[in-house]
C-alpha cells in the first residue's frame, strides 16, 4: 500500500468531505464532486480552493495553520513510512501555492535585495 492508498478517505470514517477533496487534490485523485483543482494560500494566510469547472479560487477553506495541522495530523495517523511521509509532504508542497510571507517585510526592500521567502509545508511549524 502506498501513501495515496493510506490517505484514502475511505480509511477514515470521520474525515470531512472538504478534507477528502483536499486529500484527493494533493494526491492527484478524485474523491469528491466537485473536486478541487487548485489550493492557494493568500498573503494573509487564508486558503482558497478552485473547484474543477470553475474559474478562480472562490471557496474559502480556512486558515493555512488549520490546513497544515489537519494535513500533518492525517499523516501522523495514516501509518506512513518515513519515505511515504516525505512523498506526501512533497506532494503538498507541489500542490498548495502559497503567497504567505514567512517574515513580513518591515519596509520596502532596498534596490537589489531579495524578496521575503514564502512558506512551505516543510518550513511552516506544525500546528
Question: Which has the higher per-residue pLDDT, 102 or 121?
Answer: 102
Q: What is the pLDDT of residue 120?
A: 44
Interval 49-107: pLDDT, tens: 999 999 999 999 999 999 999 999 999 999 999 999 999 999 999 999 998 775 544 44
Q: What is the DSSP letter of 54?
A: -
Interval 12-60: pLDDT, tens: 999 999 999 999 999 999 999 999 999 999 999 999 999 999 999 999 9
Rounded Cα distance between 9 and 114, Å, is 41
Please list the helix, strand and coil fractions of the chain in percent, rounded to the nearest 5, in that order.
Answer: 35, 15, 45
Q: What is the pLDDT of residue 100?
A: 77
User: Model-level pTM?
Assistant: 0.78
For residue 68, what is its C-alpha cell?
A: 497544515
Q: Is the pLDDT of residue 126 over 50?
A: no
For residue 126, what is its C-alpha cell?
A: 506544525
Q: What is the DSSP letter of 46?
A: E
Residues 6+ apart with CB under 8 A from 71: 22, 26, 92, 121
Rounded Cα distance between 8 and 6, Å, is 6
Q: What is the pLDDT of residue 43?
A: 93
Q: What is the pLDDT of residue 127?
A: 39
Amino acid at each position: 500500500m502506498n501513501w495515496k492508498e493510506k490517505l484514502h478517505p475511505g480509511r477514515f470514517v470521520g474525515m470531512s468531505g472538504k478534507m477528502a477533496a483536499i486529500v484527493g487534490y494533493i494526491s492527484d485523485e478524485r474523491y469528491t464532486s466537485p473536486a478541487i483543482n487548485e489550493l492557494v494560500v493568500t498573503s494573509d494566510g487564508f486558503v482558497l480552493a478552485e473547484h474543477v469547472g470553475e474559474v478562480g479560487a472562490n471557496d474559502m477553506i480556512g486558515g493555512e495553520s488549520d490546513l497544515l495541522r489537519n494535513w500533518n495530523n492525517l499523516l501522523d495517523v495514516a501509518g506512513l513510512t518515513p519515505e511515504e511521509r516525505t512523498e506526501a509532504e512533497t506532494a503538498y508542497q507541489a500542490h498548495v501555492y502559497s503567497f504567505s510571507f514567512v517574515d513580513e517585510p518591515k519596509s520596502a526592500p532596498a534596490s537589489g535585495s531579495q524578496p521575503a521567502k514564502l512558506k512551505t509545508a516543510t518550513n511552516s511549524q506544525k500546528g
